[in-house]
Amino acid sequence: MTLRLAVVQFAPAHGNVDHSVQRMAEAIASTQADIMVFPELATSGYFFVEPAALRPHAMPLSHKRMDALRAASDATGRTVVVGFAELDGDVMYNSAAILLPGSNPVVYRKTHLFYKERLVFAPGNSGFVVVDVPGHDCKLGVMICYDWRFPESARCLALQGADVIACPSNLVTHIWRKVMPARAVENKVFLAVANRTGAETVGGETVAFNGDSVLYAPNGDVLASADATADSVLVSEIEPAATRDKTFNAFNDIFADRRPEMYSLDAPR
Ligand code: ACM
């Protein structure tokens, strides 16, 4: 059984949640896809260095400002992954909402905070989250941007059975392109990188984002890619179940061949 996996690349408006939510709701309504992945912090914008500046743009997972996205997901049957600034009590997390049509949303809170994110966000405490995609034989896992630098992130998701890893991103370097396909290959999963474009300036410092969103096949091949600057929607038809056979010859299976007892620092040498 196949499904259509999409990433949406755009430049969220800094500090204008309603505007970005409206744009994303329109994209959900108009894109023929079963899973749609939007960038990191796509509701709020990225660059905040003071909690008080971010707080008006942060919200709980269940909040009326998310309603347009949830309604679009429910109306279209599409599963949606969208980065947002989450407010839980007094604490803010760099999170991804996983909107499941007909079901309650699930949240992933970014595990590895990048650069000045640590001035405004708490490190994620959700653990790595994998969900069943409603209406499809597909398990979807989520990591956020800088999580890519830690092979453990994608590995934890794949070991939980993820067929597809969504990676909402605000990537600011180019080096990720050398490594991200390895996350697909070493876990034999599909990987959807939704990066943003544009730049944000706060306190005289500018952070620029690289676009180049991409969908990777389990062998690391590029199924679809965007350029550095254009608003883009990439869609690829994939077969999630094709990821479940982790063999690549008659003798080797990349999961069965793992030897976790040898990975411990206490392992015999
Ligand atoms: C990043 O984690 N936004 C680079």
- Whether 269 is covered by a domain: the verdict is no
- CA dist 144 and 133 (Å) reads 19
- pTM of the predicted model as reported, rounded to 2 decimal places: 0.98
- Helix or strand or coil: residue 13? coil
Total domain count, the chain: 1
Q: What distance in angstroms lies between residue 144's CA and the mean position of ligand 1's atoms?
A: 8
Q: Is residue 269 predicted with pLDDT exceeding 80? A: no
Report the atom number in ligand 1 closest to the C-alpha of 40: 3
Q: Is 172 in the pocket of ligand 1 (CB under 6 A)?
A: yes
Identify the CATH number of the domain in which residue 186 sits.
Answer: 3.60.110.10
Q: Is residue 265 predicted with pLDDT exceeding 90? A: no
- Whether 267 is covered by a domain: the verdict is no
Q: Is 145 in the pocket of ligand 1 (CB under 6 A)?
A: yes
How confident is the model over 124-178, as pLDDT tens digits? Answer: 999 999 999 999 999 999 999 999 999 999 999 999 999 999 999 999 999 999 9
Q: What pLDDT score was predicted for residue 115?
A: 97
DSSP 216: E
- Whether 59 is covered by a domain: the verdict is yes
- Rg over alpha carbons for the chain, rounded to the nearest Å, is 18
Q: What is the pLDDT confidence band of residue 184, given thresholds at 50, 70 and 90?
A: very high
- Whether 198 is covered by a domain: the verdict is yes
- Whether 268 is covered by a domain: the verdict is no
Write down the residue that tokens 């949406």 correspond to.
8
Name the strand (E) or helix (H) holding 73.
Answer: helix 67-76
Please tell me the residue having the least CA distance from ligand 1 atom 2: 146
Q: What distance in angstroms lies between residue 195's CA and the mean position of ligand 1's atoms?
A: 10
Q: Is 143 in the pocket of ligand 1 (CB under 6 A)?
A: no
Which residues are known catalytic residues?
40, 110, 145
Amino acid at 95: S
Q: What pLDDT score was predicted for residue 75?
A: 98
37-65 mean pLDDT? 97
Report the atom number in ligand 1 closest to the C-alpha of 146: 2
Q: What distance in angstroms lies between residue 139's CA and the mean position of ligand 1's atoms?
A: 24
- Whether 119 is covered by a domain: the verdict is yes
Q: Is 193 in the pocket of ligand 1 (CB under 6 A)?
A: no
Q: Is residue 6 predicted with pLDDT exceeding 90? A: yes
Q: What distance in angstroms lies between residue 103's CA and the mean position of ligand 1's atoms?
A: 29
pLDDT, averaged across the chain: 97
> Which residues form the domain of 112?
3-262
* Token pair in block for residue 232: 């883009």
- Whether 146 is covered by a domain: the verdict is yes
Q: Is 40 in the pocket of ligand 1 (CB under 6 A)?
A: yes
64-85 mean pLDDT? 97
Residues 6+ apart with CB under 8 A from 50: 119, 120
How confident is the model over 239-261, as pLDDT tens digits? Answer: 999 999 999 999 999 999 999 99
Q: Is 10 in the pocket of ligand 1 (CB under 6 A)?
A: no
Q: What pLDDT score was predicted for residue 104?
A: 96
- Whether 112 is covered by a domain: the verdict is yes
Q: Beginning with the edge strand found earlier in the chain, give each strand of the sheet holding 106-109 in spatial order.
A: 106-109, 91-99, 79-88, 35-37, 3-9, 232-238
Q: Is residue 267 predicted with pLDDT exceeding 90? A: no
